[in-house]
Amino acid sequence: MSKPRILVARAIFPDIVDRLREHFDVEANPDDVIWTQQELAERLADKDGVLTTGSQRVDAALLAAAPRLKICANMAVGYNNFDVDAMTAAGVQGTNTPDVLTETTADFGFALLMATARRLTESEHFLRAGQWTKWSYDMFAGSDIHGSTLGIIGMGRIGQGIAKRGAHGFGMRVIYHNRSRLAPALEAECKATYVGKEELLRTADHVMLVVPYSAASHHTIGAAELALMKPTATLINIARGGIVDDAALAVALREQRIAAAGLDVFEGEPSVHPDLLTVPNVVLTPHIASATVPTRRAMANLAADNLIAFFDGRGPLTPVNQPVPGLRV
């Protein structure tokens, strides 16, 4: 009996590709070429499954061009690159990689918060440019983390991890806004208080975004929301590009309506809004919140596990939809 045919759409750890080869006929992409949608569709025309990353869009047109495709295993916790409704209607399973990146991403969120509040990027550029010639009392004076108020928008696993770091590690007052309120026991564990979105924006010294991207969350932070924030506040986005109106943020930063921002994700990434590149009070990183070797390996292995479990009949381990079984055979 022939093995299922799968595509690994981006370069991943070679030993994990070898592991997949034990179960599948694999077409890999070791050169990490970014294929167009047409090129991706051509490669998927004879495939039963695909291991994707956030850079592959799976929509109705792609599914129509890939009649054998039964599962798309995303190597990410987010899956806004999936048209989940179209996949479900077509009988195609989608999976993601939750949990394995929670703590690493929460670590990074806090690192980005600290770098932003303490103006690390600005001060390093200043030093490297040879401009440091003397001490001064206000040289790159930023804002405190300890004892300040942390506002978290999106209180899932990662948001809870950030809350715990802030409350237990830095003595921060933690407030949060979420689509639904946490159970009292979880609130107590995180030492977090639920508030409305406007109250959070008006009150927080540091606003952290950890909300999933959807049409409803597009531009959760725009000009109106930025206007509610304190002029001394910072904004941190480790969620997804599109949660923040990057153009409006660049204006607010330039006009010092907020103190600073730290961004790991961007609208239209890997492109970055050019105005963000010209303001000094922003820390910019290239979507690396989960980028440690152990975590990226765990993500790739979980995506592989989903493919293996699906095709050996156990079913997906971390599904994101429930397609009608048997639509694609």
**Active-site annotation, residues:** 240, 269, 287
- 233/214 Cα distance (integer angstroms): 26
Question: What DSSP element (H or E) covers 95?
Answer: strand 93-95
Read off the tokens for 326: 């048997």
**Burial of 109 per CB tally in 10 Å (0-12, 13-18, 19+):** buried
Q: Which positions ≥6 away from 50 have C-beta within 8 Å? A: 6, 7, 8, 9, 44, 56, 69, 71, 72, 73
**What 3-state class would DSSP assign to 257?**
coil
Q: Is the Cβ–Cβ distance between 8 and 30 less than 8 Å?
A: no
Q: What's the number of CA atoms in the CB half-sphere (13 Å) around residue 144? A: 8
Long-range contacts (CB closer than 8 Å, 24 or more residues apart) made by 122-127: 122/280, 122/281, 125/280
**What 3-state class would DSSP assign to 309?**
helix
- 38/192 Cα distance (integer angstroms): 47
Question: What DSSP element (H or E) covers 111?
Answer: helix 102-117
**What is the residue whose two structure tokens read 């991890």?**
161
Backbone angles phi, psi at 38, to 5 degrees: -65, -45
Q: Is the Cβ–Cβ distance between 52 and 75 less than 8 Å?
A: yes
Pairing of the two strands 5-8 and 25-27: parallel
Strands (DSSP E) found in 111-189: 149-153, 173-177
